[in-house]
Amino acid sequence: MTHFEKAPAKINLSLDVLSKRTDGEYNVEMIMTSIDLADRIELTTLEEDRIIVSLWSRYVPNDERNLAYKAASILKEKYNLNKGIHIKIDKCIPVSAGLGGGSTDAAAVLRGLNKIWDLNISMEELAVIGAEIDSDVPYCIYSSTAIAKGRGEIIEPLPSPPSSWVVLAKPNIGVSTKAIFKQVDLDSLSHPNTEEVIDALHEQDFEKLCSNIGNSLEDITTSLHPEVNRIKEKMTLSGAEGVLMSGSGPTVYGLVKQESKAQRIYNSMKGFCSDVHIVRILG
Ligand code: ATP
């Protein structure tokens, strides 16, 4: 039996780091929305009790370090399942980019196996299981638009942004989320206005959204990788209405209302940066 799941990437409309927890992790508040750039996950049941992951990427391992593998492995262990699965990942989301590629693959595997193995696990429970894999997995279980709190495991749905285009530009570097969090100094961190972003979503006010998107990690990543700032400047000069780094970076996105303008910005970013995409917000 074969089953397909779409695994959409996300962008952060906000990312705030609030406080350090006793377990050494950080309490965060992140508003995320999914975009129509996605990996495609093909799940095929196997006769033998094993997990196989196949994908073509020199940046992503295909063994137990793969988050999709981890998702299947945790589910088998938790529910005592002697079942086998072949996970094929058609990787379209740039890796180590701040777009949640690994987390969305893991979430898609959890959703897909829940269906093909008839496990009847609720979305809430899948999100709890997902939190054991990575902090972005609970959000990716639901996708759409939501605020994630705590370590990322508390999810509250939000209205999706007004219909718009997103231009993504990634410099030719990968950024490790762990390495960026190691540099966090709570005393000197800037904070986005999360409440204003939430209001803008409720009011469907595109201009208000664009002027309030913000990311506490941006200063850290840009100080280590100045090219991120150069891409932000270029994206702003090209006319994007809201410009921000997603996640821990290095991908920068520009929000644009009109398709023709988004296309022009895409073309001008193409001459500046190797990895550029033009996508829509999935909502
Ligand atoms: P986030 O925004 O959630 O921090 P990211 O987009 O910055 O994530 P990923 O693309 O998820 O980063 O990759 C981060 C690391 O996870 C890389 O070192 C990668 O090798 C590893 N990884 C494990 N499994 C996967 C997967 N299925 N897809 C992508 N990366 C994976």
Alpha-carbon distance of 60 to 94, in angstroms, equals 11
**Neighbouring-strand partners of residue 16:** 29
Q: Which of 58-62, 85-89, 276-280 has the lowest mean pLDDT?
A: 58-62
Any idea what the Cα angle at residue 283 is, between residues 270 and 112, rounded to 5°?
Answer: 100
pLDDT-based confidence at residue 121 (cuts at 50, 70, 90):
very high
Any idea what the Cα angle at residue 37 is, between residues 107 and 11, rounded to 5°?
Answer: 75
- 210-239 burial: b if 16+ Cβ within 10 Å, else e: bebbbbbbbebbbeebeebbebbebbeebe
Could you give the ipTM of this predicted complex? 0.93
User: CB of 174 within 8 A of CB of 96?
Assistant: yes
pLDDT at residue 95 tops 80: yes
**DSSP summary character for residue 238:** T
High-pLDDT (> 70) share of the chain, % = 100
Q: Which residues belong to the active site? A: 10, 136
Alpha-carbon distance of 256 to 238, in angstroms, equals 11
**Neighbouring-strand partners of residue 116:** none
Amino acid letter for position 17? V
The per-residue pLDDT for 282 is 86
In the predicted model, what is the mean pLDDT of residues 17-30?
A: 94
Mean per-residue pLDDT over the chain, rounded? 96
- Ligand 1 cavity residues, CB under 6 Å: 59-60, 65-68, 89, 95-103, 105, 136, 177, 247-248
Decide: helix, strand or coil at residue 49.
Answer: coil
Decide: helix, strand or coil at residue 65.
Answer: coil
The per-residue pLDDT for 174 is 87
In the predicted model, what is the mean pLDDT of residues 246-263?
A: 97
> Do strands 2-20 and 214-215 pair parallel, antiparallel, or not at all (unpaired)?
parallel
Ligand 1 pocket mutation pick from 96, 177, 252, 275 by most atoms within 8 angstroms of CB: 96
The per-residue pLDDT for 274 is 83
In the predicted model, what is the mean pLDDT of residues 163-171?
A: 97
Residue 99 assigned to a binding site: yes
In tens, the pLDDT along 40-82 reads: 999 999 999 999 999 988 889 999 999 999 999 999 999 999 9
Q: Which residue's alpha carbon is nearest to atom 23 within ligand 1?
A: 66
* The token pair that represents 277 in the structure block: 């995409």
Backbone angles phi, psi at 200, to 5 degrees: -60, -40
User: CB of 44 within 8 A of CB of 1?
Assistant: yes
> Do strands 84-90 and 51-55 pair parallel, antiparallel, or not at all (unpaired)?
parallel
pLDDT at residue 233 tops 80: yes
The per-residue pLDDT for 271 is 84
Backbone angles phi, psi at 98, to 5 degrees: 90, 10
In the predicted model, what is the mean pLDDT of residues 120-128?
A: 95
Atom of ligand 1 nearest to the CA of 249: 7
- pTM of the prediction? 0.95
Residue that has been written with the tokens 């803008």 in this structure: 200
Distance between Cα 98 and ligand 1 center (Å): 8
Assign 3-state DSSP to the chain and report helix, strand, coil percentages, each to 5.
35, 30, 35
Alpha-carbon distance of 250 to 57, in angstroms, equals 19
Q: What domains appear along the chain, each with residue ranges and CATH number?
A: 2-157 (3.30.230.10), 165-280 (3.30.70.890)
The per-residue pLDDT for 48 is 96
Residue 56 has a CB neighbour count (10 Å cut-off) of 10
In the predicted model, what is the mean pLDDT of residues 155-181?
A: 95
Distance between Cα 60 and ligand 1 center (Å): 8
The per-residue pLDDT for 58 is 86
The per-residue pLDDT for 272 is 86
User: CB of 281 within 8 A of CB of 209?
Assistant: no
